[in-house]
Structure 1
Amino acid sequence: MKPSPLQETKALLVIALPLIFAYLADVMMVITAKMVVGRLGAVELAAAGIATDLSYQMCIVLMGFFSVVGVLVSEAMGALRRGQALPELVRGLILSGLLGLAATLVVLNLGPVLRLAGQDAEVVRISGPYYTAFAFAMLPIIWFGVLRSFAAAMMRTGFVMAITVLTVILNYLLMQGLVHGSFGLPRLGIAGAGIAWAVSMWFKCLSLAAYTFWLVRREKLPLNKGSIGGPRAYGPLVRLGLPVAGIVALESGLFAATALLSGVMGAVELAAYQMVMGWIAIPFVISLGISEAAMVRVAFFVGADDAAAARQAGNLGMVVGVAIPLLLVLIPVFAPGFVARTFLEPSDPNYAEIAALVAVLLVIAAIFQVFDGLQVIASHALRGLRDAVVPLAIAGVGYWIVGLGGGYLLGFRMGWGAPGLWWGLAIGLAFTATLLAWRFELLARRWVNVSSPSDRSSR
């Protein structure tokens, strides 16, 4: 039976709100880690920053791949096939474990990658002890993503929020202790930061694993002999996960390329880019939490064969996911100095120039963040319908040809500078969001029409 719009909105928020706070806590973890390492010096901060960015990008792509575990579990629960839910999780953990070990080996050998990327020799040297320790955080980060997706499908995300907040505190204490020798811990410098990440991520992963074990026993989800199956049983996970990972890689690559182009323009433009990105990370993670909720709700109704409810869940997710970030537009638009002062001291000699550019970019970012939220929710809602190949093509054109291509044309060829680069991003995201939202409505409405009683009686 299709829930009312109010009931569905409540269900979305029950899943989304803990995820939103968990994602915000993750952002705070990265910020506090940079603050602690930054006290060692600019070179150490650069070394830890570039190693973390490259390593985390691999995690983000792999977590995108395995987010579809939530789709498969939720679909099974909606179809009342409870016996399929736990095998889907186990297959996700097995495959993510193998890929996580491969990612760990890559990070352990990050030095040659940094040298090939043309990084400063001193940065490469100093980063060695850091990424050697950070490599052992890769597997728990990826496993945590799989378990989080399962918790979302089961509408049990409160523990995810609680353990993430607790991990932020633990990570800060370990960082402060192992990097600077506080709290009686050995002073290990930049290597201590990598160790702190590894210990914190294993704590977070094992805590959620214990909770998942309890949840599985509480819900009495079966795992029968042979239910995991052979290689063919991984087919649905791989077929849906690969294009999703492609979409995530395209999006993360877009922002990496934009950062590089901002750096080509100059230090002022790069600093302004970092400040604006630091701000819009907040509305983005709000939309991300809502997108995961919309994804599992759509998948649940797909399993229940309720086309009208699936369409409602996706559309409500898009409405809610755009409405909440819209409220945050008021702060940077009407108080642009707030963002600049948050990241840079007014006494800095470049403050006035950077703050003026930030004020201009924040107006563009107000448009940018609305469409950025819409596209991520629409993309996740389509995953709930098991539609990822066409969205991958739309993202490729929208992100790279329209977005980055348009930004390069406006910023460099037409001389608009950093605002031109950001206008290109905004146009590209608007293009992508519109097409993805339209495709979800098209597919969902077509399914509703096919499922209608009048249509079935006429066939």
Structure 2
Amino acid sequence: MAQDATGTTTRRAWRAEAWATLALAWPIALTNLSQHALALTDAVILGHLSTEALAAATLAANLYWAAMAAPLGTALAATPILAQARGAGRLPGGRGWLRQMRHGARSALWASLALLLPSLLLLWFAEPLLLALGQEAGLAALAGTYLRTFMWGLIPFCGFIVLRGFLAAMERPAPALWIALAGIGLNLPLCWLLVFGAFGWPGLGMAGAGIAGTLVNLLMLLGLLGLVARDRGLGRVRILGRFWRPDGGRLREALRIGLPISGSMLLEIGVFSAAAIAMGWFGAVAVAAHAVALQTAGMTFMVPLGIGQAATARVGLFAGAREHAAAARAGWVAIGLGAGFMAAMALLLVAAAAPIARAFTGAGDAHSAAAAALGAALLTIAGLFQLADGAQAVAAGALRGLKDTRVPMLLAALGYWGIGMPVGLLLAGPAGLGPEGLWIGLAAGLGVVAALVLRRWWRLSGDSVDQGAISRA
């Protein structure tokens, strides 16, 4: 009878955690989807401008995400820092957690701003950099034009990410969702107007898409700041209180946690950016097809990424409160949810690859049919690695909740660059598989990263019920 009661209690705890994770994850996932939809909107609009514009925007986007990895990683460090600070408030004598959260958010912002300057310099010189990497002169020029107007949105975007991490730690993700949805609604007409022109307004082409993105990012940050300040529960943290006074100790912690996150992001973003560069060797059609597959796979990836961010908050909350078994349970629940969603997405991408690819290309473009056909082939390969991609994203998020970021970065280096990219280049070139071979290599690298990151979470979570290994991670 006692065993039955224990089993019932355990099942209830797992169900309760699943509902709590879903309640936190779905607004975060929708926020991620809405942010990705901003880039997707630009890709679709520019794809209807020309295949060359879509290819240039793809090159620009890959360089943009690679350049922003450092400031974005430190901005993402806000979530585990703030979640553990809030969890520590549950401990006996755990007063002062509001002040700790304020200091943590402020330090993440300072760390992010410190790393923005080299990123902006890199993006300003995008055209000569792309030329040095062997890209066509026309594509490099278009990408450089786009980035010189879009790069300024990096500053408000990083601020938005820190605020979103604060809301996740407080388990109040809805304000970021409403602001992000409003950003999509604004970006679509604004981007179309500035790219093509209307009502006597001249079209600005690539530069217009960049201007629209920067304005939307700025308005999203201002809107979220306003919502946080007006909310009685959130406003009491005074998230930007004495922002001009950085805390040296907290700043070092933000860098210690955030820089490996930046490294992991740079390794993953970099491998897909390098793949885009390699696609450029096969011509504009291959780059455009790569854009189709990458944008679609990136859209599905936003959901497990959101579940992983929820796992960071939930695991961090329990780890801060020294509830080690609950932290382990939170991580495994999130991994299961992410894997289940991505299994469904794998079936969808494989079954609907052709119509999805056709939606990205304009009917009047001479190269659109070839780009759509190759895009469908790449989407089929993307569908096959959905499960691995989702599992590694959620497991990495759970590990971040423990402030465990250095080892996952090393595992990403091995999987993406030790296996994924070399295998992809060998298959694409010597083996003669072309663009499809490159994507098969990327899928293999993702599978290795997923296996290694899951193994690390298995070890830490398995040991957590004995002597609190989670607290030592």
Smaller-chain TM-score range? Answer: 0.7 to 0.9
Q: Aligned pair in 2 of structure 1 residues 126, 392: CA closer, same or farther (>3 Å)?
A: closer
8 Å CA contact 2:179–2:224 kept in 1: the answer is: yes
8 Å CA contact 1:101–1:139 kept in 2: the answer is: no
Q: Aligned pair in 2 of structure 1 residues 270, 181: CA closer, same or farther (>3 Å)?
A: closer
Q: Aligned pair in 2 of structure 1 residues 49, 355: CA closer, same or farther (>3 Å)?
A: closer
Tell me by how many angstroms 1:449 deviates: 1.1
8 Å CA contact 1:91–1:228 kept in 2: the answer is: no
Tell me by how many angstroms 1:339 deviates: 2.7
1:23 corresponds in structure 2 to 32
8 Å CA contact 1:67–1:149 kept in 2: the answer is: yes
Task: Provide the alpha-carbon RMSD of the alignment.
Answer: 3.2
Tell me by how many angstroms 1:354 deviates: 6.3
Residue ranges of structure 1 left out of the alignment (5+ in a row): 453-459
1:398 corresponds in structure 2 to 415
Does residue 1:209 correspond to 2:218, yes or no? no
1: CA distance, partners of 2:272 / 2:253: 30
8 Å CA contact 2:54–2:288 kept in 1: the answer is: no
Q: 1:173 aligns with which of 189, 193, 214?
A: 189
1:92 corresponds in structure 2 to 108
Structure 1 letter corresponding to 2:86: M
2:397 corresponds in structure 1 to 380
Q: 1:55 aligns with which of 64, 70, 73?
A: 64
2: CA distance, partners of 1:50 / 1:31: 14
Which secondary structure state, in structure 2, belongs to the residue aligned with residue 413 of structure 1? coil
Does residue 1:367 correspond to 2:384, yes or no? yes
Of residues 401-410 and 42-51 in structure 1, the stretch that sits farther from structure 2 once superposed is 42-51
Q: Aligned pair in 2 of structure 1 residues 413, 79: CA closer, same or farther (>3 Å)?
A: same
2: CA distance, partners of 1:182 / 1:347: 21
Structure 2 letter corresponding to 1:164: A
Tell me by how many angstroms 1:443 deviates: 1.1
Tell me by how many angstroms 1:280 deviates: 1.6
8 Å CA contact 2:160–2:220 kept in 1: the answer is: yes
Of residues 265-274 and 51-60 in structure 1, the stretch that sits farther from structure 2 once superposed is 265-274
1:113 corresponds in structure 2 to 129
Q: Aligned pair in 2 of structure 1 residues 372, 77: CA closer, same or farther (>3 Å)?
A: same
Structure 1 letter corresponding to 2:447: A
Q: 2:176 aligns with which of 146, 156, 160?
A: 160
1:445 corresponds in structure 2 to 462
2: CA distance, partners of 1:422 / 1:48: 20
Tell me by how many angstroms 1:66 deviates: 1.8
Q: 2:88 aligns with which of 64, 71, 79?
A: 79
Task: Please give the per-residue CA displacement for 1:226-284, whole angstroms capped at 9, x wherever unaligned.
Answer: 99664233121111111111000000111122233344356665454333323322321
Q: 1:337 aligns with which of 343, 350, 354?
A: 354
Structure 2 letter corresponding to 1:195: I
2: CA distance, partners of 1:378 / 1:414: 33
Tell me by how many angstroms 1:212 deviates: 2.6
2: CA distance, partners of 1:48 / 1:361: 18
Does residue 1:67 correspond to 2:67, yes or no? no
2:22 corresponds in structure 1 to 13
Does residue 1:135 correspond to 2:144, yes or no? no
Tell me by how many angstroms 1:286 deviates: 1.0
Count of aligned pairs between the two proteins: 452
1: CA distance, partners of 2:61 / 2:213: 10
2: CA distance, partners of 1:235 / 1:360: 46
8 Å CA contact 2:297–2:379 kept in 1: the answer is: no
Task: Please give the per-residue CA displacement for 1:121-153, whole angstroms capped at 9, x wherever unaligned.
Answer: 455555565433323212111111111111111
Identity between Structure 1 and Structure 2 (%): 33
Q: 1:243-282 maps to which residues of 2 (within 5 A)?
A: 243-265=260-282, 269-282=286-299
Tell me by how many angstroms 1:439 deviates: 0.6
1:150 corresponds in structure 2 to 166
Q: 1:194 aligns with which of 187, 199, 210?
A: 210
2: CA distance, partners of 1:386 / 1:48: 35
Tell me by how many angstroms 1:208 deviates: 1.1
Q: Aligned pair in 2 of structure 1 residues 272, 174: CA closer, same or farther (>3 Å)?
A: closer
2: CA distance, partners of 1:277 / 1:334: 17
1: CA distance, partners of 2:407 / 2:77: 16
Task: Please give the per-residue CA displacement for 1:397-428, whole angstroms capped at 9, x wherever unaligned.
Answer: 11111212222334433444444433322222
Q: Aligned pair in 2 of structure 1 residues 418, 207: CA closer, same or farther (>3 Å)?
A: same
Task: Please give the per-residue CA displacement for 1:325-382, whole angstroms capped at 9, x wherever unaligned.
Answer: 2112222333443233333478987777766655654444333111011111111111
Q: Aligned pair in 2 of structure 1 residues 113, 215: CA closer, same or farther (>3 Å)?
A: farther
2: CA distance, partners of 1:227 / 1:186: 41
Does residue 1:284 correspond to 2:301, yes or no? yes
2: CA distance, partners of 1:216 / 1:402: 50
Structure 1 letter corresponding to 2:295: G
8 Å CA contact 1:177–1:184 kept in 2: the answer is: no
Residue ranges of structure 2 left out of the alignment (5+ in a row): 1-8, 90-96
2: CA distance, partners of 1:65 / 1:126: 30
1: CA distance, partners of 2:464 / 2:194: 56
Q: Aligned pair in 2 of structure 1 residues 394, 324: CA closer, same or farther (>3 Å)?
A: same
2:42 corresponds in structure 1 to 33
1: CA distance, partners of 2:354 / 2:57: 29
Which secondary structure state, in structure 1, belongs to the residue aligned with residue 466 of structure 2? helix
Tell me by how many angstroms 1:17 deviates: 0.8
Q: 1:301-312 maps to which residues of 2 (within 5 A)?
A: 301-312=318-329
